Amino acid sequence: MIYCVEDDNAIRDLMLYTLGASGFQAKGFPDSTGFWQAMTEEKPVLILLDIMLPGEDGITVLKRLRAASATANIPIIMATAKGSEFDKVIGLDTGADDYLVKPFGMMEMVARIKAVMRRTAPKTDQVLTCGDIVLDEVRHIVTVDGKQVVLTLKEYELLKLLMENAGQVFTRDILLSRIWGQDYLGETRTVDVHIGTLRTKLAKGGEKIETVRGVGYKMVE
């Protein structure tokens, strides 16, 4: 079940129709009131959440979901207004898995849902691959096109995080917190420096690490 929280009736109906036609079960809500009631009855596999909602806004809903252990790991895709870079950053920093920029196409929505569900599915494999890059978690070895690449611990952890969540955009602040710890007092420039070094060491594999202008970085699937 996918929950769609969108106050525009026409858009919500189109989203629900498309999801149904794509093989998903879905329910829609115009605001957070009905959504929270539904959450007590059935937990969805993914939530599509508009930021601009009447009453309780999407960011507040997102924070509540991430703060509760029962809902902390539910994949969430935020819908933001066109050109609203601030909303994208806030959403990602708060814990959104991806975002859609309005107006968005229905096929793009379905594609992003499938991508998020793939990368948030429980992982059993201990070898991560992305193009020519192979990361062996057991042996703690990274190779590109079969050749071993020597990385520092932070470079390895940074690459592992990006590969585990291929396609997901991480802001610099999130990367700083996840890799260096919440108590780290350094600047976000530290992330840029490590990304640059990582790209150089990975050679052609470094092209898989993409800069998302004004937001952060992601590993291209």
The answer on 14 and 114 residing in a single domain is yes
Regarding whether 131 and 30 lie in a shared domain, the answer is no
CA distances (Å), origin 140, targets 5, 26, 159: 42, 41, 12
Please check the confidence at residue 184 and state whether its pLDDT lies above 70.
Answer: no
Return the half-sphere exposure (C-beta side, CA atoms, 13 A cut-off) of residue 55: 12
Q: Please give the residue range of the domain that contains residue 176.
A: 127-219
Say whether pLDDT at 30 is over 90: yes
CATH number at residue 57: 3.40.50.2300
- DSSP letters along 25-45, please? -EEEESSHHHHHHHHHH---S
pLDDT score at 181: 78
pLDDT of residue 124: 57
Instruction: Give the torsion through C-alpha atoms of 89, 92, 97, 100, to 10 deg.
Output: -20
Of 96, 120, 144, the residue at which a domain comes to its end is 120
Helices (H) and strands (E) in the chain, counts: 8, 12
Give the pLDDT of residue 122.
64
**Domain total in the chain:** 2
Question: Residue 80's pLDDT band (boundaries 50, 70, 90)?
Answer: confident
pLDDT for residue 221: 78
Residue 18 confidence (pLDDT): 95
**Cα distance between residue 24 and residue 187, in whole Å:** 43
Cβ atoms within 10 A of the Cβ of 84, count?
Answer: 16
On whether both 34 and 104 belong to a single domain, the answer is yes
Kindly state whether residues 37 and 103 are assigned to the same domain: yes
Report how far residue 107's alpha carbon sits from residue 178's, in angstroms, rounded to the nearest whole number.
Answer: 32
Residue range 88-145, pLDDT digits in tens:
787 788 888 898 988 899 999 999 999 888 887 765 568 899 999 999 888 888 999 8
Of the candidates 110, 57, 66, 64, which has an alpha carbon nearest to the alpha carbon of residue 84?
Answer: 57
Of 77, 140, 141, 137, which Cα lies nearest the Cα of 110?
77
Q: Which residue, of 63, 93, 120, is where some domain finishes?
A: 120
Both 135 and 212 in a single domain?
A: yes
157 and 73 both lie in a single domain:
no
Q: How much of the chain exceeds pLDDT 90, in percent? A: 58
Q: What is the mean pLDDT of the chain?
A: 89
What pLDDT sits at residue 85? 73
Q: Tell me the pLDDT tens digit for each residue of 7-26.
A: 999 999 999 999 999 999 99
Q: Would you state the pLDDT for residue 186?
A: 65
Q: Which of 117, 37, 108 is nearest to 79 (CA)?
A: 108
- Sheet of 209-212: strand order equals 170-171, 216-219, 209-212
* Whether residues 114 and 146 fall in one domain: no
Residue 49 CB partners (closer than 8 Å, separation 6+): 5, 58, 61, 62, 76, 77, 78, 79, 96
109 and 165 belong to one structural domain: no
